[in-house]
A and B are shown apart, each in its own frame.
Chain A
Amino acid sequence: MELKNPSAIERESRAGRYVMKPTNVFDPAYFHKVVDCQWACPAHTPVPEYIRLITQERYTEAYMLNWDSNVFPGVLGRTCDRPCEPACRRVRTEEKPVAICRLKRVAADNKGDISAYLPHVPTVKNGKKIALLGAGPASLAVARDLLPLGYEVHMFDKDTKGGGMMRSQIPAFRLPQTVLEEEVDVILNMGVATHFGHEVTSMKTMLDMGFDAYFIGTGAPRGRELDIPGRQEADAHISIGIDWLSSVAFGHTDSIKGKVIVMGGGNTAMDCCRTSRRLGAESVTVVVRSGFDVMKASDWEKEDAMSEGIPIINNRPPKEFVHENGKLKGVWFECVTQVEENGRVKYVPSGEPDVFMEADHILMAIGQENHCPWIERDLGIDFDKWDCPVLDELTLQSTNPKIFFGGDSAFGPENIIWASAHAHQAAISIHLFCQGQDLKSDRPPEGVNLISQKMGVHEWSYDSAHDPAHRFLVPQADKAITLSNIKVEVELGFDRQLGAAEAQRCLNCDVQTVFTEKLCIECDACVDICPMDCISFVENAQEEDLRLHLMAPATNAEQDLYVSQDLPTGRVMVKDEDVCLHCGLCAERCPTNAWDMQKSVFHLPQLGSY
């Protein structure tokens, strides 16, 4: 069992045995980690708090709480990669996570006028000028964080509109243009000086313009190539997925003919196949070199593609493009099978004969790469062997102190929520840099506030009762319509009623069980009532031992044990945070209020919070 618990540092007890140290709940990381979704979210969106606001029909507040931390709630409520959902506690206590992402959309769809909530941008500037290269989510979010502090922000992009890949790649049937534009415009209207239609061809020229700092948010714009026989000869019938998607997004391509094979297993492949399906392809097939389970695309993306009648064929690496005088005929694929060797998955020939699949058009979606030929290599910006800039992981500063990176350009292709998360850190760094402060030692610290939720003897200011409902499905528009018009959004979203029902499934993991040793009379009431057997009163021991001697074995070492100080009987209270429902029954049953339910509000430093 590998232990990740920060409080696992053992101390010597009176009897000379090693035991666990009492947990320090005032360490901001402790309860932050208990809020699984917020912990997993790169931008640390306060998920349970906005979900509660939805149950109270306070959509505008729920929206703004999101806007503050992830910047694009309307976009993300439709497109986020949702690292929060696999982390959701419901996966461990029952089965399916709360539909965290689609609840974000409920907030966005139902919000009112947000103008009063927007941060104030001073008209008198602070004298510092910042250049943001690229107008994707990363640069937009940096602009939003810096503008309220009086920075003059200039944004450069080769496209004529802002949004980056949110506009050029994500198809309209997943993200309507109006939703994207609304959120991009809110930021641009805060006073960004835009230089759109301006391709940056030399970083040196940019530096000569004399900005105080530079943020490079130009993404990972190059689609990966596949060098197999026939590639050059059949070039007219083979497109790079992301280039093809942007030509669809910008209206240069509006149809695709014949049999289409999409090669690749990531989200670009899923968008390519679903777009082809809508633009008139006779047939669409996705062929992936690896197995189904290890595909990069999320489960829901695969489900969506398959539910539109698109087959996904796995374990077929391509061998050769077959053409006749430059006219594509099809592709030969090898058949492989997965084997495990020393715990690592390998692919070996399965022994089946190679397969030939007919095709008139190939969309290649086998990955993206960082590519900045316009950054001269003599400007003090170091690059590693993968052509990624050498950065400080926390501050996102490059080896040229004036220059910061974020989003896909920083560590390779990620997603929108990572772009937002990078942007907040980069904005703090840029601010500290411009103010002549140290990027690390002067960085504002994280914090936590604990606020009791007790309102009466058995009354809590949150809905403590556990709701056993199963996850609700998001209603979709009629396929007859969505499959014939690329602009029609597939998902209708939860309406207010369904949204409220889904929101009730949230377990309020930010309302914490907080234990006060000196009040406890060790009556066992909390142990007896706890539906999940989280609480035990036992002799202290080393973490490995302790985990096995609780009311229920605490086998999930990713989740912390909350250990009290010594109690009068010499034992300690140990709570396994793993499957706690945050139902508050322990606190209701405790005769002395030794347990209290307290909301932990995690403070992540961020510039320009509203």
Chain B
Amino acid sequence: MTFVAKPRVHHPLLPINDIGLTRRDYEGSVSTLCAGCGHDSVSAAVIAACAELSIPPHRFAKVSGIGCSSKTPSYFLDKSHGFNSVHGRMPSVATGANLANRSLYCIGVSGDGDSASIGLGQFAHIVRRRINMLYLVDNNGTYGLTKGQFSATNDKGSTSKRGVPNLYEPIDLVTLALQLGASFVARSFSGDKRQLVPLIKAGIKHHGFALIDVISPCVAFNNHSGSTKSYDYVRHHSESVTKIDYVESGQEITADYEPGTTEDVEMPDGSTLRLSKVDANFDPHDRIKALQYVQRRQSEGEVVTGLLYVDPESPDCHDILETIDTPLNELDFADLCPGNAALAPINQSFR
């Protein structure tokens, strides 16, 4: 960590977004994480993505659990709403926040311990409830904050810093999310912002539950030669199956790829995801094939990254519950609490 706050002064040519802000206006307070922690890069990617989307910072709600990863919402978007909840319970808070004010963009940040160990139950349910949010997991295969115990995403046989092997099977959050009906599933690497930033932009704009499992090395406890979540290991064993560009509605699509390998996915808000498949056998619209692909490559020791599955049409929790379009905080008292006259017939219907 640093003790010196990042000076406010910035590069004179820093781009200004559509609402007159620079990337620096989306930052948070100075990070207290270890120098070199992958989580800081994820925060930087969130900052870049939000700025590029030109969404006003106060239109975001950020929620998290407990862990080094869950501390990071303090380090981005300091002019937004936020709730740092208890260990493994971010999904409950996110669900409440999203139900109460559906107009905010909700970003959850969690860790592998927070989501795959203590919070696994909550994780499973927020996926199947399809809360409209971006759920980021800063996955370092360890409990960083409590000094390096194995987490549930740690691969069997990989070792701790002291050389002790992990004896248990790993939980793969990407596989789980695919099984439980998530409509946007991706994996990325904190050290690859070119991939991560467009994924975050798409995840924020996606209507429905979007999971990005970001391998984010813990330099303090899990960046050694026996680890499968180290900078070196991920760089040598990751394989990007799709490249995406996020294109705002009305913007010209400029990226050019080999013909036949690209596909434009229309998002409900008019924006476009330009997908290019690196592996022609891969189909990001087929949940079962995506599952198989990820698992097969995993068994070969490879980490598949990129956008793995997307369904822009699927309903979110509000659609399922047929809730009112207006956020609850904008309803006046009479509408929110219509009184006995409205309650009586409802009660009557249950008798």
Contact status of A531 and B2, CB under 8 A, knowing A591-B35, A592-B36: no
Stretch at the interface among B38-46, B204-212, B261-269: B38-46
B36 cross-chain contacts in A, Cβ below 8 A: 521, 523, 525, 589-592
Does A524 count as interface, using CB distance less than 8 angstroms? yes
Does B12 count as interface, using CB distance less than 8 angstroms? yes
CA of A287 to CA of B122, assembled, Å: 82
CA of A468 to CA of B5, assembled, Å: 12
Does B6 count as interface, using CB distance less than 8 angstroms? yes
CB distance from A94 to the nearest CB of B (A): 6
Q: Do B9 and A532 touch across chains, with their CB atoms under 8 A apart?
A: yes
CB distance from A570 to the nearest CB of B (A): 10
Per-residue contact bits, chain A 442-473, to B (CB 8 Å; 1 contact, 0 not): 00000000000000001000001110100000
Tell me the number of A-to-B contacts counted with CB atoms below 8 Å: 95
Q: Do B2 and A523 touch across chains, with their CB atoms under 8 A apart?
A: no
Per-residue contact bits, chain A 534-563, to B (CB 8 Å; 1 contact, 0 not): 100000000000000001110100000000
The size bracket of the interface on A is 35 or more
A590 nearest CB neighbor, chain B only:
B35
CA of A534 to CA of B231, assembled, Å: 23
B43 cross-chain contacts in A, Cβ below 8 A: 528
Q: Do A529 and B41 touch across chains, with their CB atoms under 8 A apart?
A: no
Does A588 count as interface, using CB distance less than 8 angstroms? yes
Contact status of A468 and B8, CB under 8 A, knowing A524-B193, A588-B35: yes
B23 nearest CB neighbor, chain A only:
A533
Q: Do A93 and B34 touch across chains, with their CB atoms under 8 A apart?
A: no
Q: Which of A551-582 contact B (CB under 8 A)?
A: 551-553, 555, 568-569, 579, 581
B10 cross-chain contacts in A, Cβ below 8 A: 531-533
Q: Do A533 and B235 touch across chains, with their CB atoms under 8 A apart?
A: no
Q: Is the interface of A mostly helix, strand, loop or mixed?
A: loop
B11 cross-chain contacts in A, Cβ below 8 A: 532-534, 551-552, 579
Q: Do A528 and B35 touch across chains, with their CB atoms under 8 A apart?
A: no
CB distance from A546 to the nearest CB of B (A): 16
Q: Do A583 and B7 touch across chains, with their CB atoms under 8 A apart?
A: yes
Does A327 count as interface, using CB distance less than 8 angstroms? no
Contact status of A466 and B35, CB under 8 A, knowing A523-B217, A524-B193, A589-B2: no
B70 cross-chain contacts in A, Cβ below 8 A: none
B8 nearest CB neighbor, chain A only:
A468
Q: Do A531 and B191 touch across chains, with their CB atoms under 8 A apart?
A: no
CB distance from A325 to the nearest CB of B (A): 62
Q: Do A531 and B9 touch across chains, with their CB atoms under 8 A apart?
A: yes
Select which of A523, A527, A585 is within 8 A of B219 by beta carbon.
A523
CA of A555 to CA of B37, assembled, Å: 31
Q: Which of B212-234 contact A (CB under 8 A)?
A: 217, 219, 223, 231-232
Q: Do B38 and A523 touch across chains, with their CB atoms under 8 A apart?
A: yes
Does A92 count as interface, using CB distance less than 8 angstroms? yes
Q: Do A525 and B41 touch across chains, with their CB atoms under 8 A apart?
A: yes
Q: Which of B1-35 contact A (CB under 8 A)?
A: 1-4, 6-14, 24, 34-35
Contact status of A524 and B41, CB under 8 A, knowing A553-B13, A591-B219: yes
The size bracket of the interface on B is 20 to 34
B142 cross-chain contacts in A, Cβ below 8 A: none
Q: Which of B42-71 contact A (CB under 8 A)?
A: 43-44
CB distance from B148 to the nearest CB of A (A): 15
A529 cross-chain contacts in B, Cβ below 8 A: 2, 6, 40
CA of A169 to CA of B239, assembled, Å: 75
A525 cross-chain contacts in B, Cβ below 8 A: 35-37, 40-41
A533 cross-chain contacts in B, Cβ below 8 A: 10-11, 14
Does B98 count as interface, using CB distance less than 8 angstroms? no
Contact status of A528 and B40, CB under 8 A, knowing A588-B35, A589-B2, A591-B219: yes
Per-residue contact bits, chain B 165-195, to A (CB 8 Å; 1 contact, 0 not): 0000000000000000000000000110100
Q: Do A458 and B41 touch across chains, with their CB atoms under 8 A apart?
A: no
Per-residue contact bits, chain B 298-342, to A (CB 8 Å; 1 contact, 0 not): 000000000000000000000000000000000000000000000
Does A522 count as interface, using CB distance less than 8 angstroms? yes
CB distance from A551 to the nearest CB of B (A): 8
Q: Do B7 and A524 touch across chains, with their CB atoms under 8 A apart?
A: no
B235 cross-chain contacts in A, Cβ below 8 A: 522, 568-569
Per-residue contact bits, chain A 84-125, to B (CB 8 Å; 1 contact, 0 not): 000000001110000000000000000000000000000000
CB distance from B302 to the nearest CB of A (A): 17
Q: Do A588 and B7 touch across chains, with their CB atoms under 8 A apart?
A: no
Between A and B, 17 residue pairs with Cβ closer than 8 Å are: A458-B3, A468-B9, A521-B36, A523-B36, A525-B35, A528-B40, A528-B44, A531-B6, A532-B10, A532-B11, A568-B232, A581-B7, A584-B4, A585-B6, A589-B2, A590-B35, A591-B34
Please name 17 further chain A to chain B contacts, defined as beta carbons within 8 Å, in addition to the given A458-B2, A591-B219, sorted by A numbering.
A93-B9, A458-B3, A465-B7, A468-B7, A522-B231, A523-B191, A524-B41, A525-B35, A525-B37, A525-B40, A528-B43, A531-B8, A531-B24, A532-B10, A588-B4, A588-B35, A589-B35
A interface with B by C-beta (< 8 Å): 92-94, 458, 464-466, 468, 521-525, 527-529, 531-534, 551-553, 555, 568-569, 579, 581, 583-585, 588-592
In the A-B complex, list the 8 residue pairs whose CB atoms are closest, starting with the nearest: A591-B36, A466-B7, A528-B44, A552-B11, A588-B2, A523-B36, A533-B11, A591-B35
